[in-house]
Structures are given as C-alpha cells and as structure tokens.
Amino acid sequence: MHEHVASLLATRRWLVLTGAGMSTASGIPDYRDPDGTRRIQPMRIDEFRTSAEARRRYWARSYVGWQNLRRATPNPAHQAVTALQRLGVAGPVITQNVDGLHQAAGSEAVTELHGSLARVVCEACGDVSPRQDLDARMAAANPGFVGVGSQIRPDGDAVLSTLQVDTFRAPLCRTCSADRLRPDVVFFGDMVPRERVAHCFDLVERAEGLLVLGSSLQVMSGLRFVRRAAKRDLPIVVLTRGRTRGDELATLKWEVALEEGLPALADTLTNSDSTTISSLTCR
C-alpha cells in the first residue's frame, strides 16, 4: 500500500495537516477512540476563565503532566515529515498539536493551529513568558508537591485527586500578579485567532494537494481546510487509524500507524527516480 501512496505523493507538493495521532508514538495520547468517540473531556475555556478553582485544578494537573510532556521526543513519524519536506514532497505543515515535536524533528514552516504549551500568556496584562520559567516558579511555590497523575492528556495535564489539587498554589502573573495565566493554546470551546485561520486558508489556496496525518477531523478547526481543499478539487490523502469526518472527501485513505507508514513512504520516495524528486523541489 505504501508504494501506491508514494506514487501519488511524488506527483506534486503537499500541504500537511497533522493531528494527535502524530504524537501517540511519542507517549502523548490522543483524545479519541478509533471510532472517533471522545474519551477525554478537556477543560472548557469558559470554565477556565470564570473559576479560580478551575484554574488551580488546571495548573496542578498541568504541573504534573508537563514533566512528562517536556521529556517527549519526536518519533519516526515526525522525522518522516521532515524527510518529506527535504525531498520537496511536503511543503508547509499545519498542526493541531501543541507539543512542538514537529519543530523538534527539524520541520520548517510549521503553523501551530492551536498554539503551543511552551508559552504562557496573562489574559490580564498580555505578558508572555516561557513555560519552563513558569514551571520553575510553580516548583518554588509548591515545595515538596508530588502529584501522581493516573492519566497524561494530550494538552499536557494529568488526572489528579481532589486532595492533590487542594494543596496546590496556582501561579500568578510575574508582571501584574493577576490570577489570569493560561497556556498559549486554544482551549476547548475557544476560537482559533482569525489571522491564523486566514493564513492556513491561504496555504490551502497555494497547495497542490493536502496530506492529512493522524487527525480524526472531528473538530471544525481542521476539517474546514479539508473542505476547502475539496472545493478546489485538490487531491486529499489521509493517513490515520480509524474513521474521520473527512473520509468521504479523501482521494485516498490509508489506515496505518504513522510511525510505521510514514517512514516507509519517505524511504520509498528517497529511493525513487531522482528526476521525479528534483522536479518537485524546483516548484
């Protein structure tokens, strides 16, 4: 199957759209079962903004989950996307993930559709700071805090007991001291910034094809780009496990573990006719 997919990919330059399935082999779980059913309910933005207790619960869980997330490293699927870019087969990447693993693998032109956990922003004064700095401040404010999460989530937090949460001191802004810090990500129920959406639509307009990797496309933030590509009559190739909301729009779908399928594709394209690859890199 991978040779058939590779023969299609070799004909043009592809915009890449990635989801949580890209990072599962790096130890970061996704939100959904293979049939698309959500098994984890993330915190909603309205709850986070209106409840100091919700913010404390989030930061206690995030403090524990971040220790796992920051140790995550790119898996062979991330490395294969970088290889496809260097071959000229893949172009820019739009990722729904907030883990930074595409960039860690060396991929370029990555748009983080849902933001990044590596940054923290204060909604009161707008101050932006590195997550590692906030982590150090939370450690200093919570000496001896040991949280053991029963489950690490894809947005970087962990499931903790009520007792663990109740003993945690939530962080305050280093600039204005407000209890309004949040990770620089799009929460469930929040909106992707308009200018970021416009940029992604522009990428679709300039693409020759759309390659969807590891996304169920259950939320509109990613599905809308697939629908735009379909309106342009672009070929759409989907590689993931399980059903997606874009299956009926796909030119080709391959149900495969990305950490296995993508390296096979990259190897096949690397060893294919150099004339074909050279013609792509010159576009």
- Binding annotation for Zn(2+): 122, 125, 173, 176
**Residue 78 a catalytic site member:** no
Tally: H helices and E strands in the chain: 11, 9
Nearest-Å Rg of the Cα atoms of the chain is 20
Q: Which of 107, 130, 91 is nearest to 22 (CA)?
A: 107
Please tell me which residue in 2, 78, 102, 114 is annotated as part of the active site: 114
Residue 108 three-state SS: coil
CB-neighbour burial class of residue 265 (10 A; exposed 0-12, middle 13-18, buried 19+): buried
Sequence-distant (6+) residues with CB within 8 A of 51 are: none
User: For residues 90 and 199, is the Cβ–Cβ distance under 8 A?
Assistant: no
* Paired tokens of 61: 């869980």
Bridging pattern class, strands 210-213 and 14-18: parallel
Question: Which spans in 150-210 are helix H?
Answer: 162-166, 194-206
User: For residues 144 and 127, is the Cβ–Cβ distance under 8 A?
Assistant: no
Distance CA 112, CA 99 (A): 9
* Paired tokens of 71: 């140790």
Report CA 187 to chain centroid distance, whole Å. 13
* DSSP3 helix / strand / coil % (the chain, rounded to 5): 40, 15, 40
Residues with a catalytic annotation lie at 114
